[in-house]
């Protein structure tokens, strides 16, 4: 028994061991690994390949196809701007522009200080409250370009819990 914290490789192997060896377990396994590390480090992809007896390129090929999977750690706060139709009609694009400008980060990237990752999401299905922005899974509804930066910073600073929890 070593008293040291497990390495990424050890943790990934431990998680992979809990999954069936069938190929259909690949996506759920990648989801579990990303849940653990916040992204998919190379060691996690190797552990998945090892468990399912697939080549690493096959695993990376699947992971890179789906938008959910990331290969770089994210910022401390993940901001997702909804790009659904109702949000677009309600001015979602202006909100995205304002966030890019105000937080100095491009969609798909992370700000230089590691504080914010900016992402877009196809549609979160809360169209009646468009335009919608998610900050660490907490949803800001009926947002506007004028108030979005303040709203995002407020949630990022206070983290008053996720409103999605029952």
Partner 1 sequence: MPPLTDFTELQASADAEWQGLIAGSRPHILIGTATCGKVAGAMSVLEAVEATLQRLGIEADITQVGCFGMCYAEPTVDIALPGQPRISYGYMTPEKATRVIEDYIAGGDPRPDLALCTIGEGRVDGLPSLEEMPMYRAQRRIALRNCGHINPLRLSHYLARGGYAGLHRALTGLSPEQVIEEITASGLRGRGGAGFPTGRKWQFCREAPGAPKYVICNADEGDPGAFMDRSILEGDPHSVVEGLIISGYAVGASRGYVYVRAEYPLAVSTLQQAVAQARKAGLLGRNILGSGFDFDVEIKEGAGAFVCGEETALIASLEGRRGMPRPRPPYPAVSGLFGRPTNINNVKTLAMAAYIMAGHAADFAAMGTGQSRGTCVFALAGNVRRMGLVEVPMGTPLGEVVFDIGGGIPENRQLKAVQIGGPSGGCLPAEATDVGLDYESLSLSGAIMGSGGMVVMDENTCMVDVARYFLTFVQAESCGKCVPCRLGTRQMLAILERITAGDGRPEDIETLEGLAAQIKKTSLCALGGTAPNPVLTTLRYFHDEYTAHIRDRRCPAGVCKSLITYRIINDRCTGCRLCVKACPAQAITFAGKRRPVILDEAVCNRCGICREVCRLDAVAVS
Instruction: Give the binding site for partner 1 (CB under 8 A).
Output: 22-28, 30-31, 52, 61-62, 65-69, 83-91, 94, 97-98, 101-102, 121-130, 132, 137, 139, 141, 144-146, 163-166
State the nearest-atom distance from the C-beta of 58 to partner 1, in Å. Answer: 9
State the nearest-atom distance from the C-beta of 83 to partner 1, in Å. Answer: 7
State the nearest-atom distance from the C-beta of 101 to partner 1, in Å. Answer: 6
Instruction: Quote the CA–CA distance of 132 and 82 in Å, as a whole number.
Output: 6
**DSSP character string of 36-101:** HHSS--HHHHHHHHHHHT--HHHHHHHHHHSTT--SS---SEEEEEE--HHHHHTTHHHHHHHHHH
The number of residues making up the chain comes to: 166
Q: Which two tokens stand for residue 155?
A: 């949630």
State the nearest-atom distance from the C-beta of 5 to partner 1, in Å. Answer: 29
Instruction: Answer for the pair 134, 91: CB distance below 8 angstroms, yes or no.
Output: no
């Amino acid at each position: 028994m070593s008293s040291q914290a497990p390495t990424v490789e050890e943790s990934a192997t431990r998680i992979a061991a809990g999954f069936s060896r069938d190929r259909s377990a690949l996506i759920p396994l990648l989801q579990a690994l990303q849940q653990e590390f916040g992204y998919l480090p190379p060691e996690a992809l190797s552990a998945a390949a090892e468990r399912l007896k697939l080549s690493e390129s096959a695993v990376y090929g699947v992971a890179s196809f789906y938008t959910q999977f990331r290969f770089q750690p994210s910022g401390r706060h993940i901001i997702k701007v909804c790009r659904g139709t109702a949000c677009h009609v309600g001015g979602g694009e202006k909100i995205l522009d304002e966030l890019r400008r105000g937080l100095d980060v491009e969609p798909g990237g992370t700000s230089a200080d590691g504080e914010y990752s900016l992402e877009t999401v196809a549609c979160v299905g809360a169209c009646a409250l468009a335009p919608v922005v998610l900050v660490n899974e907490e949803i800001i509804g009926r947002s506007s370009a004028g108030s979005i930066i303040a709203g995002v910073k407020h949630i990022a600073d206070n983290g008053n819990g996720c409103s999605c929890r029952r």
